Amino acid sequence: MSNQPKPNYPKRVPLAQLPTPIQPLARLSKHLGGPTLLIKRDDQTGLAGGGNKARKLEFLVAEALAQGCDYLVTTGAAQSNHCRQTAAAAAAYGLGCSLVLKGNPPAAVTGNLLLDELLGAHLYWSSDQDTVALMGAVCAELRTMGHTPYQIPLGGSNVVGATGYVLAMEELKTQIATANLNIDFIIVASGSGGTQAGMVLGATVYDFRGEILGISVAAETQALHTQVAALATATATHLGLGTLSLADRVNVNDDYVGEGYAVVGESEREAVRMVAQLEGILLDPVYTGRAMGGLIDLIRWGAFTRRQTVLFWHTGGAPALPAFAEKLG
Ligand SMILES: *Cc1c(COP(=O)(O)O)cnc(C)c1O
């Protein structure tokens, strides 16, 4: 809003290929008989296979460097895209990288896990330990070895990481103006909530009037709503925008969580195959396939009119595909 102060962005380092393109999904839209569908290609941000974590890491790595840190430490699932992109960012800046992966090592080293190893990350499996506690222990050990670790939370979802998606909404605003687009809805996969939180704040700052709908990949609606709203508000404070009430702009849908995080069902399988075969675009089964499965279902239920425009924000994830070969084939 014009009467609102401008965000005071901290330093960032270049890691992502920006702006990411917006493309029509004309064949998918025709197939579904639905609204006009667009896709924003944050799967094309680069950084060892692309994805939304590249935008977050531009601010996180900048802060790590400013604090004189020489190690990035973070956590995620075995097939975490966030861990893979963090390992790549560390390599690109000559930093060490330690990853705390949830659970036990799987039989096959494939997908993002293979890439973590190729990128030189040190892997720690949590087994039944708490991942946050284990990250603390890994950081303590690094300090005794004379290193200065920089700890990044799950998904890079703190005020620093979410800032990447506030800035992404400025990028979107420019693209909307240039191509004269009218976007009624943004659909995005929401996990740890930093992406959606940044978007929600960015929508307010850059006057995006459409609705942003987060398709939950794991959490229940109420919990994710609270998390996204709190992070959006905290990010506003972080950027010098004062106290903003943003809860009204947070829309979350947990109808597509199915059997839980990373459990591939028929909806994800159909969405991944449909978008691949109609558009030549790869989704992933954990995040974007789940969100697209939700979008397809919403279209079938008549949630949008044919005159509306829906932007699917592709947050990446395809490097995980080989790890789900059995479930997708
Ligand atoms: C991490 C991730 C998300 C979710 O982003 P959050 O900021 O954690 O909500 C969505 N899609 C992909 C491919 C991801 O890796």
192 CA → ligand 1 middle, Å: 7
pLDDT beyond 90 at 329: no
Domain identity same for 100 and 195: no
Phi and psi at residue 187, to the nearest 5°: -110, 130
16 lies in some domain:
no
Average pLDDT over residues 298-322: 98
Cβ–Cβ under 8 Å, residues 54 and 85: yes
- Residue 74 CB–ligand 1 contact under 6 Å: no
- Residue 193 CB–ligand 1 contact under 6 Å: yes
pLDDT band at 247; cut points 50, 70, 90: very high
Ligand 1 atom at minimal distance to the Cα of residue 194 = 7
Provide the domain count of the chain: 2
With the most atoms of ligand 1 within 8 angstroms of its CB, the residue from 192, 235, 253, 281 to mutate is 192
240: left (phi over 0), alpha (psi -120 to 50) or beta: left
Look at residue 289 in the predicted model and tell me its pLDDT.
98
pLDDT band at 1; cut points 50, 70, 90: very low
Average pLDDT over residues 171-189: 98
Cβ–Cβ under 8 Å, residues 235 and 162: yes
Q: Residue 147 corresponds to which amino acid?
A: H
Look at residue 52 in the predicted model and tell me its pLDDT.
98
Domain identity same for 274 and 258: yes
Q: Please give the Cα distance from 163 to 88 (Å, whole number).
A: 20
211-234 residue pLDDT tens? 999 999 999 999 999 999 999 999
Q: What is the mean pLDDT of the chain?
A: 97
Strands 36-41 and 22-24: antiparallel
Domain identity same for 34 and 179: yes
91-117 residue pLDDT tens? 999 999 999 999 999 999 999 999 999
Average pLDDT over residues 151-165: 98
Q: Please give the Cα distance from 273 to 289 (Å, whole number).
A: 9
271 lies in some domain:
yes
Look at residue 236 in the predicted model and tell me its pLDDT.
98
pLDDT beyond 50 at 154: yes
Look at residue 309 in the predicted model and tell me its pLDDT.
98
**Can you give the CATH number for the domain in which 135 is found?**
3.40.50.1100
* Higher-confidence position of 3 and 233: 233
Look at residue 3 in the predicted model and tell me its pLDDT.
61
Domain identity same for 132 and 166: no
Look at residue 4 in the predicted model and tell me its pLDDT.
67
Question: Among 110, 130, 155, which residue terminates a domain?
Answer: 155
Domain identity same for 201 and 297: yes
Question: Among 94, 128, 155, which residue terminates a domain?
Answer: 155
CA 142 vs. chain centroid, Å, equals 28
Range of the domain at 112: 54-155
291 CA → ligand 1 middle, Å: 11
Domain identity same for 134 and 93: yes
Question: Among 115, 139, 155, which residue terminates a domain?
Answer: 155
Domain identity same for 145 and 254: no
Cβ–Cβ under 8 Å, residues 103 and 125: yes
Domain identity same for 306 and 264: yes
Average pLDDT over residues 23-50: 98
**With 0-12 CB in 10 A as exposed, 13-18 as middle and 19+ as buried, what is 3?**
exposed
Domain identity same for 222 and 274: yes
pLDDT band at 265; cut points 50, 70, 90: very high
Options 80, 98, 157, 192, the catalytic residue:
80
Ligand 1 atom at minimal distance to the Cα of residue 157 = 7
Domain identity same for 213 and 167: yes
Q: Residue 204 corresponds to which amino acid?
A: T
- Give catalytic status of residue 80 as yes or no: yes
Task: Describe the strand order of the beta sheet including 149-151 as a list of residue ranges.
Answer: 122-125, 96-101, 71-76, 149-151
Tokens of 290: 């789940």
Average pLDDT over residues 47-56: 98
Helix residue spans in the chain (DSSP H): 26-32, 53-66, 81-92, 111-118, 131-144, 159-179, 194-205, 221-238, 266-279, 288-300, 325-328
pLDDT band at 5; cut points 50, 70, 90: confident
17 lies in some domain:
no
